[in-house]
Structure 1
C-alpha cells in the first residue's frame, strides 16, 4: 500500500520528513518553548522566515497532525496555532536537540537554557508538557514551565 505522502513507512523517515526542513523544528521551538501562537509572532523570530515559507510549513505541520489552527472568535482574519498531543510529544525532541546544540554555540550570561539543563530532565519535560497543555510554554511568561520549576527550586531551599 502506497503512502499518500512520504518516501517510506520508516519512523525515522517520518521524523525527518516532518522536522527535517530548515523551518519546521524552529516553528515548533517558537510554539512550545517561547509561547508564540500567531503567524505574526512566528514571522518576528530572529531567523527571519519568509511569509510564504511560514504559511507552507504551518500547513504541513497541521496536515501532519502536529499543530492545530484555531480561528479567532473575535476576528475572522486571525488564527492561533497550538500543539496537538502529537506536537507536545515533540518536546522531547526539542529538549534533546537543545542539549546537543548547547555544545556548539556560546551561551550568553543568564541564558535560561543553562538553568533548564541543570534541572532534572524528567521534571523539566513533565512541567513543559503540562505548561503547553495549559496554553503556555517552556520559557515564555510568568506561568512558563521554567518559572514554575525555578519557583519550586527556590521554595525547596
Structure 2
C-alpha cells in the first residue's frame, strides 16, 4: 500500500475497527503472531493462505503504523526484523476468539480446523489470558 488507509469519518466503531485491523491479511498476520508464535517476514510468508510479498509488506507497515505491531531488529540477524504485538494488538485476542467460535458454529467443511476451538471451549478465560500475555 503506497498510501495510508483513510479512516472513515462517520465515527462508527465498526468502521474504525475494520479500517485498523479488519482486512483478511491483517487478521491473518495477527493470527500468525498470536496463535502460532510467528515473528518474522519469512515465517509469515509460510502461512497456509499464501500471502503475496507486496501485500505482506503493506500489511506489516499498516499494522505497525496503527500501533498494533512493533518492529525491531533481530538480534541474531541484524539484517532481519522481528514483529511482536503491542498491547493494542494483544487486546484483539477476544475478537480472534469470537471469530474462531463463530467459524466453529458455521464452518461445516470436513477439513475445518477445530483444535483451537476445542482449547477455547475447555478454558476460554485461560486461553484468552495466555493470548493477551503474549
Same fold per superposition (TM over 0.5): yes
2:120 is the alignment partner of 1:124: no
Q: Which runs of 5+ in 1 are unaligned?
A: 133-157
2:59 is the alignment partner of 1:57: yes
Q: Which runs of 5+ in 2 are unaligned?
A: none
CA radius of gyration, larger in: 1
**Hey, what's the Cα distance between the residues in 2 that align with 1:109 and 1:23?**
19
Q: Over the residues paired in the alignment, what is the CA RMSD in angstroms?
A: 2.1
TM-score (norm 2): 0.85
Runs ≥4 residues deviating over 3 A: 105-111
Q: Secondary structure at the match of 1:71?
A: strand
Asked whether the 8 Å contact 2:72–2:82 carries over to 1, the reply is yes
Q: Which moved more, 1:119-128 or 1:59-68?
A: 119-128
Distance 1:113 1:19, change over 3 A: same
Asked whether the 8 Å contact 2:100–2:117 carries over to 1, the reply is no
Q: Secondary structure at the match of 1:70?
A: strand
TM-score (norm 1): 0.73
Q: Which has the higher strand share?
A: 2
The number of aligned residues is 128
